[in-house]
Structure 1
Amino acid sequence: MKPKVFLEFVEIKSLIASVLPFVLGTLYAVYNYHQVHLGYLILFFIASSLFHMATNANDNYQDFLHAPRNADNQEFLEATNVVGVNQISIRQARAITFGLGGLSLILGLWLVTRTGLPLLWMGLYSYAVGYFYAGGPKPISSGPFGEFFSGFTMGFMIFWIAVFINTYDKVAITGTSTLEVLIASGIAIFAISNIMLANNICDMDEDIALGRHTILYYLGKPVMLQVFAWSYIVGYVCLMVAVWMGVLPKLSLLTLLSVVPVLKNTQLFLKKQVKTETFILAIKNATIICLSFVVFMGLGLIFN
């Protein structure tokens, strides 16, 4: 397989969606607990990146494998899905998926032996979501909860694991500390879940043809377009609440400056939902929000 095809198969461009929560979780640990375990952190970064690629590969080959073979789906099978377009064999697709996932699992289990059982439970949840997102008899991505699981797993779990790995020997996991992490990561959760929502909005007709009953199928496009817009607002509210609680530096509030480009992109998406033209706006919004959060949270650490 050519490198270009491999990178397309694992959707390398989407890796930033897991990298930024990882960085944010690390900054959170530094701000609140003044501690970093750099070696373990690097291993977690590698493991999470490998698993992110494995999950994307699994999504692509499972979608190709389970798509109905009929005239309505011919374009999806031959011109849309990366497996069909590049004629990747199912055997090769599985080898890449389970190879990447296996390497990630080995690194993850070793980290469990060094940091403790909480990481095992976090990891088991993440791996289960990663596989069943597109695998199994009823994939998560084909149902009404895809947005929740994508946003929660990438926006919160990666953030939380990064915090845990840096503080496992100093801070016990409690309901209060978990709630604080959840609120602090809220802006990332909603920005990332909106990527999945935008994808489903653009693909609504194709999804119905493929037998997928996403949340669009149940609530309709007009309602979910409103949810798309309000999700950003709720995310910004989470940011302000986290600063008020004292778990984020005050300079993090400058992330609110991202409202200007995010509002512009959101208005464009609300007017037109075409996969090849406007889906990218949701990705841009998530990148702008999370990158702004990283920059201003980092500045908050420096000038705190």
Structure 2
Amino acid sequence: MTKHWLQWSTFVELTEAFTAPLNLAWLLMGACIAQYFYQVVNWVNIGLFLINIVCFDLAVNITDNYYDYLHAKDREGYAKHTNVMGRLNLPLRGVWLLGLSLYLLSLVPAVILLWRAGWSLLPLGIVGYGLGIFYAAGPFPINATPLCEAAASVGITYMVQLVCVCSAVAPHYSLSWDLAGKTFMVCLPVVLIAFTLQLANNVADLDEDIKNGRYTLAFYLGRPHSLLLMRVLQVVGGLWPLVNWLSNVSPWPVLITIPLMLPMFWGMRPFYANPDKERTFFPLVKAASVYFVGYTIFLAIGVWL
């Protein structure tokens, strides 16, 4: 490996930068919640949080790939040919320094945000950074346990929005159980669908995970029960906007997302028939993305139009 190992294509694959635009959707959802319940949105704070979460997300993806490579027991298969570190023959120290640099960079807007929004955000920040770092790092990484699916889905589709809401309403309001509860109710549909994606990913990777000592929820449930749980959670998540509307937690346009269950289920059928990472997993992700985007758009329409 030459000293000029960090090409743009390598950076994109290592950081999975193509997923970064999703952060815009999550922050838009947080802004919607702030406006709907508190009629205030501090866009400067949201902008700072956007910079923070993008840098943090890139850093987490780097450390996930880095530590998955280090922890891999299947050195000839997964470590050498599947993980981006081995496949591209990337230098360990260089990748570690890149991840550290992005973590440190993410702290700059985070500290400014804490100064502007209040130190009540600090506990959420500590939990968020802890989840991100120890998802793959340490002697007992979260992604090798049955907590893997819940930690990833709740972290990405609830905690991000919760911090966004707290940032948006500061300094007029601060973190409270009422704020956290309302945010959770609004986010629950995407939390459940995101959980099914994490579970599907681990179902598709089950044999590979076992070889590398990762025993996720998919391992303990087995493929048939994992797929059954996915179906149940997708139905509950798809119908939950009705509960939110009846509870006066969401505006009525979110009800339009309920029919989006049909194309979502249709797009996921190939995965249920053949859970395969290369052939059927990414069509499943695309099908779920239709719901994510639709839910966020109709929530925004209900709040601002």
- Tell me the TM-score range normalised by the shorter chain: over 0.9
Question: How many pairs are equivalent?
Answer: 300
- Pairing partner for 1:94 from 93, 96, 108: 96
Q: Which residues of 2 match residues 84-163 of structure 1 at below 5 A?
A: 84-163=86-165
Normalising by the residue count of structure 2, what TM-score does the alignment of the two structures yield?
0.94
Per the TM alignment, residue 187 of structure 1 is displaced from its structure 2 partner at its CA by 1.2
Per the TM alignment, residue 231 of structure 1 is displaced from its structure 2 partner at its CA by 1.5
Q: What residue is the counterpart of 2:42 in the other structure?
A: 37
Q: What residue is the counterpart of 1:292 in the other structure?
A: 294
| One-letter amino acid of the structure 2 residue matched with residue 11 of structure 1 | E
Q: Alpha carbons of 1:13 and 1:193: their partners in 2 closer, same or farther (altered >3 Å)?
A: farther
252-261 or 238-247, which moves further after superposition?
Answer: 238-247
Quick check: 1:109–1:120 contact (8 Å CA) kept in 2?
no
Query: 2 CA distance for matches of 1:150 and 1:286?
Result: 16
Q: What residue is the counterpart of 2:266 in the other structure?
A: 264
Per the TM alignment, residue 17 of structure 1 is displaced from its structure 2 partner at its CA by 4.1
- The reply on whether 1:64 has 2:69 as its aligned counterpart is yes
Quick check: 1:73–1:209 contact (8 Å CA) kept in 2?
no
Quick check: 2:25–2:296 contact (8 Å CA) kept in 1?
yes
SS in 1 for 2:277: coil
Per the TM alignment, residue 189 of structure 1 is displaced from its structure 2 partner at its CA by 0.9
Quick check: 1:31–1:301 contact (8 Å CA) kept in 2?
yes
Quick check: 1:187–1:235 contact (8 Å CA) kept in 2?
yes
Quick check: 2:27–2:46 contact (8 Å CA) kept in 1?
no
Q: Can you list the C-alpha shifts for 1:151-183, whole angstroms capped at 9, x where unaligned?
A: 111110111111111112223433233211111
Q: Alpha carbons of 1:282 and 1:16: their partners in 2 closer, same or farther (altered >3 Å)?
A: farther
Query: 2 CA distance for matches of 1:125 and 1:167?
Result: 20
Give 5+ residue unaligned stretches, structure 1. none
Q: What residue is the counterpart of 2:30 in the other structure?
A: 25
Quick check: 1:258–1:289 contact (8 Å CA) kept in 2?
yes
| One-letter amino acid of the structure 2 residue matched with residue 64 of structure 1 | Y
Give 5+ residue unaligned stretches, structure 2. 1-5
SS in 2 for 1:112: helix
- The reply on whether 1:11 has 2:13 as its aligned counterpart is no
SS in 2 for 1:276: helix
Per the TM alignment, residue 297 of structure 1 is displaced from its structure 2 partner at its CA by 1.4
- The reply on whether 1:224 has 2:226 as its aligned counterpart is yes
| One-letter amino acid of the structure 1 residue matched with residue 109 of structure 2 | L
SS in 2 for 1:148: helix
Quick check: 2:190–2:237 contact (8 Å CA) kept in 1?
yes
SS in 2 for 1:220: helix
Per the TM alignment, residue 237 of structure 1 is displaced from its structure 2 partner at its CA by 3.4
Aligned-CA RMSD value: 1.5
- The reply on whether 1:54 has 2:62 as its aligned counterpart is no
Q: Can you list the C-alpha shifts for 1:209-240, whole angstroms capped at 9, x where unaligned?
A: 11111112212111111111112122123322
Quick check: 2:188–2:237 contact (8 Å CA) kept in 1?
yes
Query: 2 CA distance for matches of 1:15 and 1:98?
Result: 18
Quick check: 1:17–1:192 contact (8 Å CA) kept in 2?
no
Quick check: 1:183–1:241 contact (8 Å CA) kept in 2?
no
SS in 2 for 1:137: coil
Query: 2 CA distance for matches of 1:49 and 1:229?
Result: 31
Per the TM alignment, residue 22 of structure 1 is displaced from its structure 2 partner at its CA by 1.5
SS in 2 for 1:185: helix
**Larger RCO (alpha carbons 8 Å, 6+ apart):** 1
| One-letter amino acid of the structure 1 residue matched with residue 170 of structure 2 | Y
Q: What residue is the counterpart of 1:167 in the other structure?
A: 169
Query: 1 CA distance for matches of 2:124 and 2:23?
Result: 15
- The reply on whether 1:193 has 2:198 as its aligned counterpart is no
Per the TM alignment, residue 140 of structure 1 is displaced from its structure 2 partner at its CA by 0.4
Per the TM alignment, residue 75 of structure 1 is displaced from its structure 2 partner at its CA by 2.4
Query: 2 CA distance for matches of 1:198 and 1:15?
Result: 21
| Structure 1 consecutive aligned stretches of length 4 or more whose deviation exceeds 4 Å | none
Query: 2 CA distance for matches of 1:161 and 1:174?
Result: 12
| One-letter amino acid of the structure 2 residue matched with residue 57 of structure 1 | I
Quick check: 2:157–2:191 contact (8 Å CA) kept in 1?
yes
Query: 1 CA distance for matches of 2:283 and 2:232?
Result: 16
- Percent identity, aligned pairs only, is 28
Query: 2 CA distance for matches of 1:22 and 1:190?
Result: 18
Quick check: 1:229–1:266 contact (8 Å CA) kept in 2?
no
Query: 1 CA distance for matches of 2:97 and 2:59?
Result: 10
